Amino acid sequence: MSGPAPFSGKAVLGLLLFGALAFLAALYFMGAGATGDSGNDGGGHAAGDGLNGYTALAELLEKRGNEVSFLRNPGQLDPDALLVLTPPLHADAEEIDRIISDHRRTGPTLLILPKWQASPIPASLAVKAEEGWVFLFGADSPEWAAEIGRKGMLKASVSIRQSGTRIGWQGLGQRGILPDADAVQSMTSTEMVPLVGASDGRVLAGFWNDGGYYPDLSDWAGVEPRDDDKADEELWPVVIVAEPDLMNNYGLADRDRAMVALTIVSAALEDYDLPVAFDLTLNGLGLQPNLLTLAFTPPFLAATLCFIIAAIVVAWRAFRRFGPPLVAMPVFAFGKRQLATNGAALIQRSKRLYLLGAPYAAILRGRVAHALGIRPGGDAAHTESEIDRLLERRGIEPANFTTHAEALRAARTPHELLRHAHALKTIERKLAR
């Protein structure tokens, strides 16, 4: 038995297209790493909007025409780009040193040392703060700075004072004023060539003089580059900024500091047109490889291909059905016979079959009494004795209606019920002849 299709062809096609588009959108967002987490948690990184963050630098570089990206996958920290590292105060020195070492022959590295201790603005303060805003409550130098490169090569320190006087900076053909003179971080190293210094002579930014050939950086620093024959031309430079206020959101509120930040980036690129990649993994914002990448990587590629083939087969079967759809049969059949059958099955399943004996005996007593002309409504025992008397007078065997009726009322097993009910039914059938 068949009937019309529950859905039209257009409806099925629309559902398939909608599902396919939703699946493709899910694949895109997984591949792009768009998980809904912006990373604006008040940290000192390129996704932070606080004073200690670097979103202003990333936006400024993007508006200047640089290709800017943010790295969240630990397996992609060696791009063909300027790698900008902004580790926190308590980062892993070995991890930072490994990232820098792995990137030396791929692209330049810009390491900005942290300084500020920051905390999100509590809701209890009567301050209209946006997401990611922080207040600065102290400054400290990272202990891991001494572990970068050769151990003890670099030493960073913060001078904290409350003199109220301004501290200037100069370098890269520019000069200006630091935003906070009470906490200035500088560095000392015999292997660091200064690029930007404070007005009192401290080094605020420089590049690592490690045997590479860096003509642009050397020119900005006013020193002679290494001889081409002795220099390792495969090495890319490592630029270290000790004073983060030259490049963070706090510092870029001033035009002079914004210009020197752009100049530091340009000098680190060594006149190469490379993208700029900000690392977010050191700040705890890293992501594992997305599912889309894993799906097309062995050994998962085979399962992905099987899934695609199965989806194509399902779609083909949806439009190439073998005949019209079958109409579902009703759960319960109609009619008196089926109703009686269902009722009997219910009684049997509930194990209450013995309760039918007395009602059935009463029904047959009424029918036989009517057939013999006995007045209805009398006493049951008297009626049954009259039935026995009249049956015996007419010569109908068996004439023991009372015996079978009492046995039927007392029966408890299905066999006893059927035997005595059949005997009473036989008496009724003989009277009807």
Which tens digit of pLDDT belongs to each residue from 322-355?
556 666 666 666 778 878 787 777 777 777 777 8
Q: What angle do CA 29, 33, 34 make, to 5 degrees?
A: 55
> Which tokens is 73 given?
């996958």
Which tens digit of pLDDT belongs to each residue from 226-250?
776 777 888 999 999 999 999 999 9
Which tens digit of pLDDT belongs to each residue from 161-212?
766 678 899 999 999 999 988 889 999 998 899 999 998 899 999 999 888 8
Considering only residues 414 and 96, tell me which one the structure prediction assigns the higher pLDDT: 96
Residue 403 CB neighbours (<10 A): 14
Q: What is the pLDDT of residue 233?
A: 83
Reported confidence tier of residue 2, pLDDT bands at 50, 70, 90: low
Strands 174-177 and 276-279: unpaired
Bridge partners (DSSP) listed for residue 238: 109
Q: Which stretches does DSSP call E strand in 18-90?
A: 68-71, 82-85
- Domain residue extents for the chain: 36-286, 336-431
Closest of 178, 137, 179, 182 to residue 162, by C-alpha: 182
- Which residues, other chains included, contact 171 with Cβ-Cβ below 8 Å and sequence gap of 6+? 194, 195, 196, 197, 204, 205, 260
Q: Which long-range contacts (CB under 8 A, 24 or more apart) does 1-6 make?
A: 1/326, 1/327, 1/329, 2/323, 2/324, 2/325, 2/326, 2/327, 3/324, 3/325, 3/326, 3/327, 4/324, 4/325, 5/321, 5/324, 5/325, 6/325
- DSSP helix/strand/coil, 160: strand
Q: What is the pLDDT of residue 30?
A: 65
- Cis peptide leading into residue 79 (ω within 30°): no
Residue type, 402: T
Q: Which stretches does DSSP call E strand in 140-182?
A: 155-160, 168-171, 174-177
Q: What is the pLDDT of residue 198?
A: 93
Residue type, 231: A
The CATH number of the structural domain formed by 36-286 is: 3.40.50
Instruction: Please report, in angstroms and rounded to a whole number, the separation of the first and last CA atoms in the chain.
Output: 45
Considering only residues 315 and 329, tell me which one the structure prediction assigns the higher pLDDT: 315
Q: Which stretches does DSSP call E strand in 66-147?
A: 68-71, 82-85, 109-112, 116-120, 134-139
> Which tokens is 115 given?
């300084």
CA distance 109 to 112: 10
Residue type, 427: I
| Cβ proximity of 70 and 47 under 8 Å | yes
Least confident of 89-98, 345-354, 364-373, 401-410: 345-354
| Cβ proximity of 417 and 356 under 8 Å | yes
Output the pTM of the full model.
0.63
Residue 346 CB neighbours (<10 A): 10
Q: What is the pLDDT of residue 149?
A: 83
